[in-house]
Structure 1
Amino acid sequence: MIPDEYVVFENEYWVVNHRMNSTYAGYLMVASKSESTELSDLCQKSLASLGLVLAEVEGLLQRNFSPQKVIFSKLGFSKGFNCHFHAVPVSENVIKEICQNSNCTFDKPDGNDVMLFINREYCENQDPEKVKAVVGESVARLRRNS
């Protein structure tokens, strides 16, 4: 169960929340309310509403963060999590950060590079007070402007 302070919106089948351990503003999770871990296990109504939810998430992130791109990924290697997607607004600033990183060997990162960088730099071993502040502000902003 996702605590209310992280939830941005939900419908009958999906809940959208800010990632709980991230200091990257707008990093959202779109999780199935079904205990299924795979898309192929979800009911037709859940699958039918998924596209609408993803489109709503993308629009919400575009309106609130003006990213270059919103990327989505379905990972799901960790046990105990329902089928879920990561939704990340990719800003120009994070692209610059990636390109300035000494490990960067390319001119422009792709979605995989962005996800890896954001997870390492903004999600691993973060200060709980900073996480609380970023998540609180992001959720309030998204709820206000949805």
Structure 2
Amino acid sequence: MAIKKKYEDLITVGGPASSNLENSILTLNKAGFKKVSQRAPLMRVTGDWKPMIGTLHGDITLDFAELEGNTKITITVVAAVDNAYALISSPGERIKNKFLEEFGKISLEPSSQVKPDVTARLAELEELRTNGVISDEEYSQARINIISRN
């Protein structure tokens, strides 16, 4: 029987919680999570990470809350830790990263609800970060500022 361990993290992203909740549902589906479900009254999304091949298995729960024009997302992962890979890195953190890698891609995709100038400014900002003109921290703060103004 697998031993499960809880891993929790908190992130803050720009934009309204309802929009980020919808993006998270798309993200979990695109990233390969199964049984993705939403509990709208609780502002909660859940999904299972159980690939056909591999030893990394677990469940993810995302709780959303409005925070000064931004969204606070509490990420809770319960993952099996009974394999040798758990000694190298946290299975919960690895499952969280599967979500965050895809969430970053979806959050930057143009949307019909986003004004074209916002998309262009986000692309310029990404280019500045890629070229080393601004740090990751400066990028994150500027991105939040751009998104929260629209």
TM-score, normalized by length of structure 2? 0.30
- Choose between structure 1 and 2 for higher RCO, CA contacts under 8 A separated by at least 6 residues: 1
Q: If you compute each CA radius of gyration, which structure gives the higher value, 1 or 2? A: 2
